[in-house]
Amino acid sequence: MPEPAPGHLPLSANLGAGFLFSDRPLPDAVRAAGAAGFDAVELHWPYDVPIPALKAALDETGLPVIGLNTPRGDVAAGENGLAALPGREAEAAAALEQALTYGAAIGARAVHVMAGFAQGPEAEACFLANLARGAEVAAAHGMTLLIEPLNARDVPGYFLSTATQAEALLTRLGSPHVRMMFDCYHLQIMGGDLTRLFERLGPLVGHIQFAGVPDRAEPDRGEIAYDRLLPVLAAAGHAGPFGAEYRPRGRTEDGLAWMRAFRPRM
């Protein structure tokens, strides 16, 4: 990705189901993100989309892919990841390999490893072991693994829910190939104090996402003044695009005035 112009706040569009431009096929969503002025895209589970079709849209727009998620497991049964589920190590490894192979083919920089619904020491040991094995595979692909705390209000029972827990896991793991997804929406719900939190955790952070709190809609209203927060985080050392991962109130195109409001404040 070219260096951003001075005063330009780099932004990525999350094209996962229910988020930005999700009313059209994924390749067309990539094109729409480019037309709207985003600097990158990120995906959730694009695996049903043929790689050549997606790659064509990415090449056409020149947008890099920040990352994608590992498969969730049995979605019909409510699963939300496999990596912290004892006894499911083989499935977790296969899910990560699928994500890394697909991601490498489209030039993705990172894979978010979905932990799943689990608690306790056995789940923690399983998660750490899966991350340690996966980190070496990711490094071979030239990619990074991400772990993300998901707030306990929206995703009760998920293995990883706080920044403190993520910090402890990453410290124990000690791998430069595994980093934290700093999702401002989830972290605000689980404690807030985001500026100080990033000051402490910045070296462990691989990507930052944002959405309005508490409704997870456009970031132009709610509890967090992102037009001030994101430039502060950029000045504190976050160089990559900030990921817009919100649920539009209507058509994505009709709710993008926040982009124009944010960027001149850099």
What residue ranges in 85-217 does DSSP mark as E strands? 110-112, 144-147, 178-183, 205-210
Catalytic residue among 42, 124, 148, 218: 148
List alpha helices for 62-149, DSSP H.
89-106, 121-140
Name the 3-class secondary structure at 68: strand
Token code pair at residue 185: 């929406």
C-alpha 209 chain-centroid distance: 6
**Would you tell me how many other CB atoms lie within 10 Å of the CB of residue 120?**
11
How many CA within 13 A on the CB side of residue 103? Answer: 33
122 is catalytic: no
Three-point CA angle 254, 64, 35, nearest 5°: 30
Owner of token pair 């296969």: 94
Identify which of 179, 162, 176 has the alpha carbon closest to the alpha carbon of residue 238.
Answer: 179
Report d(CA 241, CA 142) in Å as an integer.
Answer: 19
148 is catalytic: yes
Residues tagged active-site: 148, 245
